[in-house]
Every structure is written in C-alpha cells, then in structure tokens.
Structure 1
Amino acid sequence: MSDKKSKLCQENHFRDFYLTHVQSANNFAYYKCGDDQTALDLVQDAFAKIWENCSKIDFSKVKTYLFTSINNLFLNTVKHQKVVLRYAKDAPNLDIHNQSPDYLLEEEEFRIKLTNAIASLSDVQREVFLLNRIEGKKYREIAELLDISQKTVEKRMSGALQILKSQIENI
C-alpha cells in the first residue's frame, strides 16, 4: 500500500494524473461555480492539495480525492460569498454597471439561491444532475460510469429535480 501512496509523489506519475484529469476537473469546477477563473482556481488549489498530501493519499483513490476537494473548495467559496453578500447589503450599493441596484441584488440572490440549491442536493443526486445537465451525459452513460443501474440514475435525477424545483421559484 505504501507503494501506491508513494507512486503519487513521483513527479512523472503526478504529471500523468494531472494531464489525464485536469480537463474533467476543470469542467466539474466550472459547472459548480459558472466562472472560468474561479473554476481554474478551484482546480489548481485541489491539485496543489493533492501534491502537498501525496504521501497520505492512496493512488487508487486520488481521482475521488480530487473531485471531493474541488467540491469542498467550492462549498467554502459559497460560504465566503454569503459573507460578502451580507456585507454588501449593509454597505451602500454602488451602481457600477449602470444597472439598477435592485436588479443586481436580485440577480446575485438568484445565483446564490441556485448555487445553494445545487449544493443542498445529496452527493449522489448532485453527481447525477451535473453529469446529465452540465456534462450532457445520457442516463445510460452515467449508469455505466457510476456502475449503477439506469433506473437508479433516473430515480436520483428525479429526486434532484424535485428538490431544485421546490427551492427555486420561477424556473
């Protein structure tokens, strides 16, 4: 097992892992946050975390570690945005883009509501939802990828959509 752990600490193995997974990790992060630069930051932070902890991570589980790290970093970003929004409500709202402050606030509130609704899904529901709606994968492909039945994918997706619909009005 220590062989598997130390394998990740070898620069060529880490580079191969990085090159193999950077695009899918970036897509995952982008669909979580909807911003190219933030997605890139999340992915780079996750890979840096893996490199720093390479001796502690089992090579066979490093892909799971990568996507979990990105998700956790994203959730931390959402928490930070809540603090920023709370501060923005207390501070005078400057209209930098010549849009009404009400519109900007509503837009930000909706984005946060959507982000929080997706974040509130269970891990399995969120995974299926993002793979289908964001990655564009079919239920059959998701079932094969996750090694579950297509019916299970359908059930998870149905549950995810019900939760999102109940939490977000006017969609």
Structure 2
Amino acid sequence: MPKEIKNHICEEETFTGIYSKYSKSLHDFLYYKFGEYLDPNDKMQEAFIKLWENCKKVPPSSARAFLFKVAGNMMLNDIKHRKVVLRYIQTKPKEYTNESPEFIMEEAQFFDKYQKALSKLPEEQRITFLLSKADKKPHKEIAEMLGVTRRVVDSRVYNASLKLKAELEEFNKFYAKKPSKLL
C-alpha cells in the first residue's frame, strides 16, 4: 500500500512510464480491432488524457485495464455516432405533396391577398392581431407589451378579424385548413 501512494499516476515520472509502456500496445489493439478508419491514434491519446484527468482515482496497477476499457468505449461510441449520422443522411425528405397544383396556386394567390389585406389594417390592429394569432400570445401579455388594457386588445383583434373577413370572403375556409401558412 505505501508503494502505490509513492508511485501515484499524477506524478509525471509515473505517468510517463505508463505512457511509454502501454501507448504502442493500446494503439495496436485499437487498430487491429477497429481499423484505421476510426483513427486509433486519436483514441489512444484521448484515453491517456482521461487517465491523467482521473489520475487520483486510478491506481497504477489498474492503469492498463483503465486505458483499454476507456479507449474501447470511445471507439464503440464513435461507431454508434457514425451509424446515427449515416441513418440521418439516408433518410430523404418528402419531395411530393398530395395537394393538386390548382390548390397550391390558389393558396399562394390567397396568401398574397391576405398579406395585402393585413397591410390595409391600421398599425395598432395589425400588430395586435399578429401578436395574438401568429405568435399565439395571450391577450393579457399583449396588453402588457403594448401598454393598453386587455379589453382594448380584445377589441383590436376582433375588429381586425372582421375587416379581414370582409376583405376576404374565402378567409374562413382557408383559415380553418392552414392557419400556420396564413398567419
């Protein structure tokens, strides 16, 4: 026991000795088991860094086992990560839609009309309406932001909705189907 306290891994001499003794065999082990593709030299270096970070916890007699276990786990984690990346790359986004070209064109035209109708609203109504419908903020929070009462916010949102409905006779139909695109 007194010998291990004397030869602590945190001492530079002891650590250097462990490095020179195990670095080549650790590199070779990683290279033979996992190949050059996963860069065994980096994992070997990282394992020694982990040993240095945990030098007070690992006795010199367990250094070899610690290094091989940590380096092997790093390689396995790298393999898992590469599998996830590969799976993500292989999934292709949906490039088609079930909507007809006419519907898509009508939706774009309606969106333009909607933007024009929004721009015709008075600034206070437009801001209040968009905070309520697009940002989905509660009326109480909008009132605090704008420095008005909640009833004023309710009134502005209501009046903006009336004006938009009057301007756009198809507003209800599209609003019910695609609120995220409209607001």
Q: TM-score, normalised by structure 2?
A: 0.46
Give TM-score, length-normalised by structure 1.
Answer: 0.49
Considering only CA atoms, is the larger Rg found in Structure 1 or Structure 2? 2
